[in-house]
A = this chain, B = another copy of it.
């Protein structure tokens, strides 16, 4: 009897060919397709897997789980990889891995397979995540193993009755979820070339955006968006709505040369209209509600968390500890941010909070002033003391530090 294997199935050529190929390697293939908000036709994909040769085809809707457990932390921790883009694929891989492992355990499978090549980040994320969750599972990466050229793959597909996309090979390689869309390859491999309009799907070209801004008020409670324009809504619903409205204003286009965990630089284009709007709003609310000491150390934790997730270590104990830090900081991130969406920008237009730490009476220069200005004299004296003592010591020795 054949052993069972669970394959992360996308419905595309690579994983369709993989079903047949894995079958030939001696596995009963269970296809598993996850919805994380990329807008795929799940019904069609489920049927296709069976048609191509899977013994079972599972479709899982994981959008809410993705938003609440993964995208939420991306927003709260402002996980901008290399300071530039919110994580996209890096956030969905651990969730997909978790579902693959759950299906494998439920079905008694001994192996899991994914469709990644050998030069991207996703193979790292899948394999490390799967083994963190179940180190006993075998992992197979058919595309990385078979090393076929495009032509060889199509020949194999033709030979085995696997549907071949009519259009010539897509110009880009794309991954998408409700938090964002990642695009690479093709013309993008020239860093001197601007991304063509065809690389974008979720965001309007700046030239085509409306000449009137849209204002949205986003309300947060303890770091989670809970209402939009005064209407209570789930985080998922708010994100979906913002993807549309901010996308129409051309917000969230990102173009970056990034450092992959496998050691190379790659040029990527991202679209994240909802994500960028939410992160910007959340940052503005934190500026109002976090004490300085938290505001100044949280970025260190954020950077570490971002790299840890990017590098495939979501299920590392380090991630859990970093998230515990983030969780603790979010308790007071409550309030409302009014965003102006206009000409490619999500602009903070106003922010307020019942527990705002901004105090007009302390900050103002008017007569309502309650700040003790004389306190500053003592403060400066002690704040600058180490620097001054050194200057005195070196002056005495005839050496000024700052020639």
Contact = CB atoms under 8 A, between A and B. Distances in A.
Nearest to A173: B365
Interface string A289-310: 0111111111111011001100
Given A173-B365, A355-B393, A378 B374 contact: yes
B117 A386 contact: no
Contacts of A144: 373-374, 376-377
Contacts of A181: none
B263 A382 contact: yes
A51 interface: no
A23 to B, nearest CB: 22
Given A291-B387, A382-B379, A397-B355, A194 B349 contact: yes
A394 interface: yes
Given A300-B303, A358-B257, A390-B357, A293 B265 contact: no
A356 B354 CA distance: 48
Contacts of A348: 255
B329 A321 contact: yes
A250 to B, nearest CB: 9
A350 B191 contact: yes
A363 interface: yes
A271 interface: no
21 contacts: A118-B373, A119-B365, A123-B380, A124-B376, A124-B379, A127-B384, A128-B380, A128-B387, A131-B391, A133-B391, A135-B392, A144-B373, A259-B292, A262-B382, A264-B363, A264-B389, A296-B307, A312-B383, A324-B328, A343-B344, A359-B389
User: How many monomers of this chain does the complex have?
Assistant: 4
A338 interface: yes
Contacts of A255: 347-348
Given A293-B317, A358-B265, A382 B391 contact: no
Contacts of A357: 265, 386, 389-390, 393
A364 to B, nearest CB: 6
**A: interface residue count bin:** 35 or more
Contact of A332 (B287, B317, B369, B386): B317
A376 B119 contact: yes
A131 B313 contact: no
A402 B133 contact: yes
Contacts of A342: 206
Contact of A382 (B360, B369, B376): B376
Interface in A249-301: 255-259, 261-267, 283-284, 287-288, 290-301
A99 interface: no
A91 B267 CA distance: 34
Contact of A297 (B133, B194, B318, B377): B318
Contacts of A392: 135
B364 A189 contact: yes
A111 to B, nearest CB: 15
A301 B133 CA distance: 27
A325 B300 CA distance: 13
A260 to B, nearest CB: 8
B379 A135 contact: no
A388 interface: yes
A395 B315 CA distance: 14
A135 B293 contact: no
B379 A381 contact: yes
Contact of A328 (B134, B321, B329, B389): B321
Contact of A192 (B296, B322, B351, B362): B351
Contacts of A119: 362-363, 365, 369, 371, 373, 376
